[in-house]
Structure 1
Amino acid sequence: MRDRAWIYPAVFLTLSNAALALLLFPNPLALLQGLKIVPFWMLGTLAGFGVVVISKTLKMMRAGEERPLLKLREWADWQLVMTVMAAMTLACLNQTAFLWLKPTLNIYVPFTADPLLADIDRALFLNRDPWTLLTWLNNDWSGLIYHFIWYASITGSLMMLLSRPASARKAAMALTYFVCWSVIGPLIHCLLPAGGPIFYQRLGYGDRFAGIDGGIETERVADFLWHGFESGHFEVASGISAMPSLHVTLAVWTVLCVAQFKPRYALLVAFFAIYVFLLSISLGWHYAIDGIVGGTCAVFIYHILRTIFENRSPQSSTALIR
């Protein structure tokens, strides 16, 4: 199996989201400023390569290699490096398209599901809102961990995946990543549009979640998102959507990815995914059911796609992009 098996559908999903946003957003030219994230994404990718180089260099130095950098130069597979860079660029453009579509949906799909999702949470947790059990998790660092460490874990896992030889497992895992952003997020948002506990009172549903204190970082991001929603102007990384929690969805995807290709780190990554899930509730970004639905979708989509790809091609295929 070749990598084109997942790349072609990923390109289609990216273009579809971008076209839909450009068609529906009142001022489509404003969306172009969302491309500002591209250089930052690519710098993050280069930083990821830097971590690999440093790690390999230190390992060779410990093994007694006198000229580790020269050896590393001989070891480097530049075709693979360029392949990973190209695929990471596609992933960046896919996320950009999602960030265009997310605020666009806010214009056309009113938030109506918050009371329902809040009541489902209360029923699941024996007549108690789950955030009240998790306030001890919140501190000045929680918001930064929830946003930036999570993002770094997703980027690192994606780079690790893209460096693997082509296979049915790789194709299924890579395409699951794109499906989560391009299909699962927008589709379920349209079916159950919700702003989340952090916006519950601002949406006019009452002060049920007024006691949540997510810290300065969380408050700053919430004010930024609300301003973009209320003003109707596009801002980079704007848009509000609670159901499903893509934070949890992609955290579960990371667990699946690491378990398949770097299993010795799977337990550590699983603990972090659980932590992200709990933070999504304690900080007020999501109802518990948002993460449960998102994580379940990630597992379901991966296993469906893996079955499809394995039935299409023999397991032994290891060809790269051609």
Structure 2
Amino acid sequence: MDTRDTILRRWSGEIPVFVATLALFALCAALLASRGIVLDAGPVLANAHIYLFSIVAWVAVDAACYLARHRPQEPFAALHRRYAGPAAIRRWIAGAPLLALCILLMPFFSKMKAAIPLFNAYTWDATFIAWDRAIFFGYDAWQVLQPLFGYPPVTALLGLLYQLWFLLLYVGCLYMAFAAIDPGLRRRFFLSYTLSWSVIGGGAATLLASVGPCFLGPLLGDPAFDAQMAYLHAADAQIPVMPLAVQQMLLDWHHNDANGLGSGITAMPSMHVAIAFLFWLAVRRISPRAGRWMFAFFVLTWIGSVHLAYHYAVDGLVSVVLVAALWRISGAAIAWWDNRLAHTARQIHPALRTKTVPAE
């Protein structure tokens, strides 16, 4: 089978991902237009630049590891084959549509996130505080975690890990788009990824609009988490706690009605927890060892989301339940599509008896 047929077979298998994404993009665009928000190219270009930098960084690190591991006689020729040879070119072209999806997705989500107050008021915080206290016997979740994690070095480390989560959106998604992994897993991951940002980060976040502990005082005038914020600022005075600067930036953007890349305030559900959990579901099927590390990162992300005052504990719980449901739905959708492709292939080629699956 030639290169063109191989790429077309892969793209045909990914049609459910692209159809779902385009439909959700159209819905988001219509909802934003109904509130007078016009989509612009600025955030998309900014996101494209981040992905370009991520590709360069990924190739640089991969090249260094490859040379150190294999020590080829002709390093430049070896690197050319690895990144610009026929197989590599086919991989770059085949993964390009998924890269385009990733570039477009975050700006759409940021617009929707920033527009939440236009669709629904932030009225759910009291409910989620009550849920947390019901789970933790009358205490807030951060108070239960504080004896274990309430030390400035630990807080700073959790803050660093919480910021490193963004590598999942860029390096992680690049790996899933271009690496030689199981095609069914790739498609299931990206369909779940698109649905997670749209259904969880868009729809559920709007219906369950809440600001979270760190913004409860500044935005709603509720002092319930002032003690937690006082601890975080005291810890920051000893060792920088990176998320505090981000929280202030988000608050400034909110007051200035900014709706660019990364803007917007929402607590329930937690997209940090949702995406970390989704990556664990996928990575454990690629490598059990990497899956164990990803599970640890997911757990620390959930703990960090509470300890750093971004989220209530139930924000992460709802995220896990919703991602698990979307993962099952995505698996069923991909299986249904493969059966349709196989049925079509048998009609075109009656002698064909093997199942048609997209090739890499």
TM-score above 0.5: yes
Offset at residue 155 of structure 1 (A): 2.6
1:33 counterpart letter in structure 2: G
Cα contact 1:245–1:291 (8 A) shared by 2: yes
The residue type paired with residue 123 of structure 1 is A
2:124 equivalent in structure 1: 113
2:66 counterpart letter in structure 1: K
> Which secondary structure state, in structure 2, belongs to the residue aligned with residue 207 of structure 1?
coil
Q: What is the CA-CA distance between 1:228 and the residue it aligns to?
A: 2.3
Q: What one-letter code is carried by the residue in structure 1 that aligns with 2:262?
A: A
Give the letter aligned to residue 138 of structure 2.
N
308 and 85 in structure 1: CA distance in 2 versus 1, 3 angstrom threshold: closer
Alignment of 1:189-204 (within 5 A): 189-204=205-220
Q: How does 1:113-132 map onto structure 2 within 5 Å?
A: 113-132=124-143
- For normalisation by structure 1, the TM-score amounts to 0.88
Structure 1: distance between partners of 2:62 and 2:24: 30
Out of 77, 80, 102, which is 1:73 matched to?
80
Give the alignment partner of residue 303 of structure 2, picking from 272, 278, 281.
278
The Cα of 1:189 is off from its aligned counterpart by: 1.4
Q: Which one is further off, 218-227 or 99-108?
A: 218-227
Q: What is the one-letter code of the residue matched to 1:48?
A: W
1:303 is matched with: 328
TM-score by length of 2: 0.79
Distance (Å, rounded) in 2 between the aligned partners of 1:181 and 1:254: 13
| Residues 1:44 and 2:54 are matched in the alignment | yes
Q: Which moved more, 1:197-206 or 1:171-180?
A: 197-206
- The question of whether the paired residues in 2 share the 8 Å contact of 1:197 and 1:285 is answered with yes
Q: Structure 1 residues 238, 154: closer, same or farther in 2, change over 3 A?
A: closer
Deviates more, 1:305-314 or 1:239-248: 305-314
Of the three residues 180, 192, 196, the one matched with 1:180 is 196
How does 1:142-153 map onto structure 2 within 5 Å? Answer: 142-147=158-163, 149-153=164-168
Q: Could you tell me how far apart the structure 2 residues matched to 1:176 and 1:127 are?
A: 35
Q: Does 1:103 align with 2:114?
A: yes
Aligned equivalents of 2:105, 2:30: Cα separation in 1: 12
1:246 positional shift? 0.3
**Which digits, 9 at most, give the CA deviation of each residue in 1:242-270, with x for residues without a partner?**
01000000000110111122333100110
Q: 1:43-79 CA deviation, whole Å, 9 max, x = no partner? A: 1133223332322222212xxx322432342344112
The within-5 A match list for 1:17-32 is 17-21=28-32, 23-26=33-36, 28=38, 31-32=40-41
Question: Sequence identity, in percent?
Answer: 21
Instruction: Say which one has the larger Rg.
Output: 2
Q: Aligned Cα RMSD in Å? A: 2.3
Please tell me whether the aligned partners of residues 200 and 207 of structure 1 are also in contact (alpha carbons under 8 angstroms): yes
Q: Identify the range of structure 1 (178-187 vs 154-163) with the bigger mean alpha-carbon deviation.
A: 154-163
**Which moved further from structure 2: 9-18 or 108-117?**
9-18
Match of 1:161 in 2: 176
Q: Matched residues in 1 for 2:331 and 2:43: separation?
A: 32
5+ residue gaps, structure 2, are 1-11, 340-354
Contact 2:181 2:286 in 1 (8 A): no
**Distance of aligned partners of 1:173 and 1:78 in 2 relative to their CA distance in 1, 3 Å threshold:** same
The SS at the match of 2:13 is coil
Aligned-partner Cα distance in 2 for 1:202–1:75: 52
- 1:144-178 CA deviation, whole Å, 9 max, x = no partner? 3212x111134333222212467333221111001
Checking the alignment, whether the CA contact within 8 Å between 2:160 and 2:242 is kept in structure 1 is yes
